[in-house]
Each structure stands twice: as structure tokens, then as C-alpha cells.
Chain A
Amino acid sequence: MKPRAELQYLRQQKLRDPALVLSLSLPLIPSLSPKKESDLAIFEQLIVAGCDLGEFEVVKQCLGLLKEQFGAIVKTVLPAEPGKEPKVKVEGSSRVGILEGKFLEAQGDYSGATELYNLLLTQNPANVLASKRLCAIQKAIGTPAEAVKSLLSYLDSNPTDVAGWWELAELYLSQGHWQGAATAFEEVVLFDPLSHEVHTKLGECYYGMAASSKDGVCKDFSGEGMMAMARRHFAEALNLKRGNLRALMGLRMASRETALRPANVNDKKDVALVDGSVADIEVAQKLHEFACEEIERVTKGKYGKLGLGLKEIGRTEGEEILAAMASKGE
């Protein structure tokens, strides 16, 4: 029973280790039967692992057994009534259908897989797995724009899929589309506001938007500048998880933009106040200082020996700030 217990552990923890799964389950194959309910999960695991590693013979054998037991996806065209489109009836196990689709995908037969998933969707339009696979196929073979399009249509019918929004944001990011990515990440933040990862990501998007605009104070959304928003999201991420190095670096870079800008008394944005009492630039300077110190502290234990030189960078940044303040006469 031991390999079974190990396989179960892998399943429950959702670990994807195809080599391990195959080595554990291959010796079990003779004892597996699709009639036993407890074996079905192992079959599924085995098939996915086999697809991952290209062990198509085993997969074919297992899929055959499952199809025999539960019925493959079959399309039957019902005789058409005059003047109407012929109705299509799809029968078979959708769960086995998904596995077969994955098998087709693994073999590179994307058109066959697409057809199969579409059949599954006519059988049950609420089949989320099939529509997700369709997006994955688009991502694998289509242009990024096509992938985005298919993901958008998926999100249109499944608007609460947080992972889907995240995927959309990553797709946008891969194309350098900061604004689209920010919008998608905002949607993730709305659903999961206590995740420090998404605050970090959103901060990066805002930073990207601000930094890629002309002078770093992109104000196409009136009121608070993008850079300040980036800073706040990085700060929120750090509030949720101290020592989040990515957020610290982001905070340092975002606050630097404002902190190092020579203060211009006549410029409206330099006297912009946070909470009606504190100048934005002062907050940025403090944040920059804080980020530099924190980076130094966090990296000292972990990376200090690697000699990444982060400490020195932090120092010079601090000196820069001091110099900037001195030139301002404060």
C-alpha cells in the first residue's frame, strides 16, 4: 500500500512531479482496475504524468481502460428537422474527455484537442476545465493577442476566476502592456486584497506605467500620481509581509523617483500633500531611506556572503539623498 499512500500525498498536495508519479505508479498498473473507485484517481494521475513525460504508450493503455469503463466522448448528429440546423448530441464522460484532450495536446494534436474541448462545451457549457484548456491551447500555438482574446472571453463567462485574471495580467506583462496588466491585477486585488504578492505585482505595474511615461509623473488619471500609487502598493505588500525583497526593491525605486527630484517650490506637484498635512516628497524620502535600510538588513543574512553588493548600492543611494537634501538647504 505504500506507493498508493505516496501517490495520494502527491495528489492532495497538488505536487506536479511526473517522474516520481510514474516511478510509483508503473509497477501498480497490473493491479489497477477502472472498476475500483479508489484506483480512478491513480489512473488520472498516471495519465497526466505520462503526458508530461511523453510516455504515450502507457497513457494510451490507461485511457483505453477508462474509456471502456466510462465511455469516450462521442458525437452523434441527430436527424435534422426541416429548416433547422441539425442538433448535435454529445455523450460520454467529461472527465475522461478532459484526460483524452490532454493526451492529444501532449502529442501536439492541437486541432483534435480543440475539437474535443468544443464538444465537451456543447455537452455542458459550464465546463470550466475545457474552456481553460482552450485558452491554454491558444497560449501554446496562437499569437499573444489571440491568447489574450481567448482568455478575455473565458473571463467574461467566469468573472470570478482569480487565477484567470492573474494569468491575463501576466500575458499583458509579457507584451509590455502595463495598463492592461494593472487593470487585471486590480481585479485580483479586489478579490484577494490580503495577498502581498499581488500588491507587489500591481506596484510594479504602476511603476512601469509611471516610468514609461515621459517624466515619471504620469498623471493621466487625475489626482494621485501613478508613482505614489506604486509606492503605496509596495508599502502595503511590506505591511502584509515584512522583508518581501521584491517589494522592497520596488519601493526603493518608486520612492527614489520622487525623493531625488529637486524640489521646485513653484511646481504644484512638489507641494502636493498627503493627508493634507505632509508633503509627498518628504514621505518619498523617508520611504526611500527605509527601503534602503531594510534591503540592507534583509540581504545581510541571506545574500551577504554572495557579495551581491546590494549593501553598497543602498549606501550610495542614501548618500545621494543626503546630497539632494543638502543642495535643497534643509
Chain B
Amino acid sequence: MPSESSSLLLLSPSIRDWVVFPLLIITFLTGLLRTVTSILLRSSKKIPADDRRVRGVLMRCGRLRNAGGFLSKDRWEARRKYWTNSDPEGPLRPKSPYLPKDGAKAAAANNPMANPAGAMEGMMGNASFMVQNMVMMQTIQHFFSGFVLLKVPFPLTKGFKGMFQRGVDLPTLDVSYVSSVSWYFLVMYGMRGVLRLIIGDPSPDEKQSQQIQSELGNAPGVPPPVKGKDAFKQECDNLEIAKYSGVLARSEKELLGGRYPKATKRAGKKGKNRGDDIFGQMGGDRKKGQAKKLQ
């Protein structure tokens, strides 16, 4: 107890009025500014058609692996054979017709360094955030460094010291005191929800408009192109080792529930040799059925 009382600090009300609240307001306003600038900086780009096609093919293969159980085994196998055709011009092989025709251009697109405009695009959004953050932190460290602004009303472990007391290196200071830079960070990350409340989600009209734009082949941010050949090779490997597991066979059982016919020995009666192993399986199934009844 003595250690706690000794670390009790009296914070001046002026700190509250001239540091805590101003920081809160400044952070809020810069957050607003940032959202607005990000909307202004957002530019509409053409979606590369080749890339979309490659993605679509990959998605189809992925669906075949994930939802393939809804097809019958033969149909599934036929599709798998088509995709994993080992011919060099097979759909997932290096000379696939699904890959962009001009290899040189594709290679350039795959290498972000060869396309500085594309790299810039991604940086623009982050840059505004970083610039603002750096300026704010410099300002705060310049004006308010070393301030202890407030005390959170609950005890915290030592681990939070770095998070709550950045810029104040006092080993004996209780962890529940918050320094100015830390206050800025806490507010900045906590502000997102508030900002979303104030700015609001995009209106349905805006959403619809965005959807039409994407159908027209424009999108605000174009994801970096997939490396077609590599992705195809991996997908091909995945498909080659994929195993069929039918999920449709149970649908009749599920539908009929208790009415589903019980296992019979009928099949075992014919062709003794062939029936025996089936009979063995049947025995297992019957036991299962009995166990169910007991439950």
C-alpha cells in the first residue's frame, strides 16, 4: 500500500483543459480530414481483364475442391481430369490458354518494380496516413513531451508501461498513468468507430453506383495481379491430390430420416464369395443402427 500512495500524483486541471481535451479534438479533426482526403485521392482504375480471368479460373478450381462433393464422382473426376490435364497446353499448365497471351507484358505486370505507377497507387493511400501521423507525433512530442495526462481508473500490469507511458521514462510511476503520446495513440485508434458513426456508411445509392462501376470494369483499388503461372501450378498440384468425398449420398438418408430402409441381408444371399465382404460391412452398419436405437 505505501508504494501505491507514494505514486499518487495530483494532476493539474489545466492539463485536462489545455492538453487532454485539445488532443482529443485535434485527433478527431485530423481523423475526419484523413477520411476526406482518402476519398479525394481515390482514383478509379481499369480492372485488368486478363487478371480477372486468371482469378476466375483459380476460383472455379477452388470451388471444385471445396464444393465438389455435390457432384457425382464421375462428373467430379471428369472436371478434375480436365483441369489437371498434363498436356503443356492444359488449362493449368504453363502454356494454358487462360494465361495472358503476351508473356512479356504479364511478366512486367507481375513485377511491381517494373510498374511504378501501380506501386504509387498503393502508396498514395498509406502516404496521407503516414504524413499525418508523423506530423502529429512531432507536434505532440514538441509541445507536450513528458506530460502525464490522466490516470485510468483500474490497475494494470507492468506490461502496459510501454503502451501507456511512451515518452515518460519513470520506472516507479504507476502504470495506470497515461502519457501524452500514448493518449494520442489511444484516441487515434479508438476514434475509428466514432468516425464511422459520424460519416456513416456509404448510402445504398453510392454502393449501387460502385457496383455498376465495377461491372463497367473500373474499381477504386485494383489488387496486385496474381502470378498466373505460379498460382496455376499450385492449384494444379492441389487438384491432383484432391480426394472426392461425396456429400450428396447422405441426402436421401437425411430426407427420409427414420423411414430410411434398414440394412438387409438380401445382398449377402447371392454370390457367396462376392457378398461376404459386403456382408461384413453390413454387420458394421447394423451395429451402428442398433447403437442409434439405444441412444
Contacts of A269 in B (CB 8 A): none
* Closest-CB distance, B19 to chain A (whole angstroms): 41
> Could you say which of A57-65, A141-149, A276-284 contacts chain B?
A276-284
CA distance A189 to B254 in the complex (A): 19
- Return the contact of A278 from the options B47, B78, B260 (Cβ within 8 A): B260
Interface residues in A30-83 by Cβ distance below 8 A to B read: 38, 41
The answer to whether B67 and A124 touch across the interface, beta carbons within 8 angstroms, is: no
CA distance A285 to B260 in the complex (A): 10
* Closest-CB distance, B192 to chain A (whole angstroms): 26
CA distance A275 to B213 in the complex (A): 50
The answer to whether B216 and A191 touch across the interface, beta carbons within 8 angstroms, is: no
Does A112 lie at the interface of the complex (its beta carbon under 8 Å from any beta carbon of B)? no
With A11-B205, A124-B217, A271-B270 as known contacts, state yes or no: A286 contacts B256, CB within 8 Å: yes
CA distance A232 to B75 in the complex (A): 14
The answer to whether A189 and B70 touch across the interface, beta carbons within 8 angstroms, is: yes
- Return the contact of A277 from the options B52, B209, B285 (Cβ within 8 A): B285
The answer to whether A159 and B53 touch across the interface, beta carbons within 8 angstroms, is: yes
The answer to whether B209 and A126 touch across the interface, beta carbons within 8 angstroms, is: no
Residue of A nearest to B252 (CB): A235
Does B136 lie at the interface of the complex (its beta carbon under 8 Å from any beta carbon of A)? no
- How many B residues are at the interface, by size bracket? 35 or more
Contacts of A231 in B (CB 8 A): 252
* Closest-CB distance, B235 to chain A (whole angstroms): 13
Contacts of B255 in A (CB 8 A): 235, 238-239, 287, 290
What DSSP secondary structure best describes chain B's contact surface?
helix
> Could you say which of A218-226, A304-312, A313-321 contacts chain B?
A218-226
What DSSP secondary structure best describes chain A's contact surface?
helix
With A95-B216, A221-B72, A223-B72 as known contacts, state yes or no: A235 contacts B56, CB within 8 Å: no
Does A107 lie at the interface of the complex (its beta carbon under 8 Å from any beta carbon of B)? no
* Closest-CB distance, B291 to chain A (whole angstroms): 15
* Closest-CB distance, B222 to chain A (whole angstroms): 10
CA distance A125 to B262 in the complex (A): 58
The answer to whether A235 and B64 touch across the interface, beta carbons within 8 angstroms, is: no
The answer to whether A239 and B251 touch across the interface, beta carbons within 8 angstroms, is: yes
Does A265 lie at the interface of the complex (its beta carbon under 8 Å from any beta carbon of B)? yes
Interface residues in A115-160 by Cβ distance below 8 A to B read: 124-130, 156-160
Residue of B nearest to A277 (CB): B263
A-B contact count (CB 8 A): 157
The answer to whether B254 and A278 touch across the interface, beta carbons within 8 angstroms, is: no
* Closest-CB distance, B24 to chain A (whole angstroms): 33
Residues of A within 8 Å of B, CB-based: how many?
A: 54
- Return the contact of B281 from the options A276, A282, A289, A290 (Cβ within 8 A): A276
Contacts of A187 in B (CB 8 A): 60
Does A273 lie at the interface of the complex (its beta carbon under 8 Å from any beta carbon of B)? yes
The answer to whether A190 and B64 touch across the interface, beta carbons within 8 angstroms, is: yes
Does A233 lie at the interface of the complex (its beta carbon under 8 Å from any beta carbon of B)? yes
Does A274 lie at the interface of the complex (its beta carbon under 8 Å from any beta carbon of B)? yes
The answer to whether A286 and B261 touch across the interface, beta carbons within 8 angstroms, is: yes
The answer to whether A283 and B60 touch across the interface, beta carbons within 8 angstroms, is: no
| Per-position 1/0 for B49-87, Cβ under 8 A of A | 100110111011001100110111111001000000000
The answer to whether A279 and B267 touch across the interface, beta carbons within 8 angstroms, is: yes
Interface residues in A234-290 by Cβ distance below 8 A to B read: 235-236, 238-239, 265, 271, 273-279, 282-283, 285-287, 289-290
Contacts of A127 in B (CB 8 A): 215-217
Contacts of A285 in B (CB 8 A): 261
Does B264 lie at the interface of the complex (its beta carbon under 8 Å from any beta carbon of A)? yes
Does B142 lie at the interface of the complex (its beta carbon under 8 Å from any beta carbon of A)? no
With A41-B209, A128-B216 as known contacts, state yes or no: A282 contacts B261, CB within 8 Å: yes
* Closest-CB distance, B292 to chain A (whole angstroms): 14
Does A98 lie at the interface of the complex (its beta carbon under 8 Å from any beta carbon of B)? yes
With A159-B60, A223-B72 as known contacts, state yes or no: A283 contacts B209, CB within 8 Å: no
CA distance A217 to B60 in the complex (A): 30
The answer to whether B267 and A224 touch across the interface, beta carbons within 8 angstroms, is: no
The answer to whether A239 and B260 touch across the interface, beta carbons within 8 angstroms, is: no
Does B48 lie at the interface of the complex (its beta carbon under 8 Å from any beta carbon of A)? yes
The answer to whether A190 and B67 touch across the interface, beta carbons within 8 angstroms, is: yes
- Return the contact of A279 from the options B217, B218, B259, B261 (Cβ within 8 A): B261
CA distance A124 to B44 in the complex (A): 13
CA distance A181 to B132 in the complex (A): 57
Does B108 lie at the interface of the complex (its beta carbon under 8 Å from any beta carbon of A)? no
The answer to whether A278 and B263 touch across the interface, beta carbons within 8 angstroms, is: yes
CA distance A75 to B67 in the complex (A): 45
- Return the contact of B71 from the options A160, A190, A191 (Cβ within 8 A): A190
CA distance A269 to B48 in the complex (A): 52
Does A105 lie at the interface of the complex (its beta carbon under 8 Å from any beta carbon of B)? no
Does A94 lie at the interface of the complex (its beta carbon under 8 Å from any beta carbon of B)? yes
The answer to whether A41 and B60 touch across the interface, beta carbons within 8 angstroms, is: no
Does A92 lie at the interface of the complex (its beta carbon under 8 Å from any beta carbon of B)? no
Residue of B nearest to A220 (CB): B74
Does B42 lie at the interface of the complex (its beta carbon under 8 Å from any beta carbon of A)? no
Contacts of B46 in A (CB 8 A): 124, 126
* Closest-CB distance, A270 to chain B (whole angstroms): 10
With A221-B74, A275-B249, A278-B263 as known contacts, state yes or no: A160 contacts B59, CB within 8 Å: yes
Contacts of A233 in B (CB 8 A): 248, 251
Residue of B nearest to A233 (CB): B248
* Closest-CB distance, B102 to chain A (whole angstroms): 13
Residue of B nearest to A240 (CB): B251
* Closest-CB distance, A115 to chain B (whole angstroms): 18
With A190-B70, A277-B281, A286-B260 as known contacts, state yes or no: A8 contacts B205, CB within 8 Å: yes
Q: List 6 A-B contacts (CB under 8 A).
A: A129-B215, A221-B74, A223-B72, A239-B254, A273-B278, A278-B261
Besides A124-B216, A127-B216, 4 other A-B contacts (C-beta < 8 A): A235-B251, A279-B261, A283-B256, A290-B255
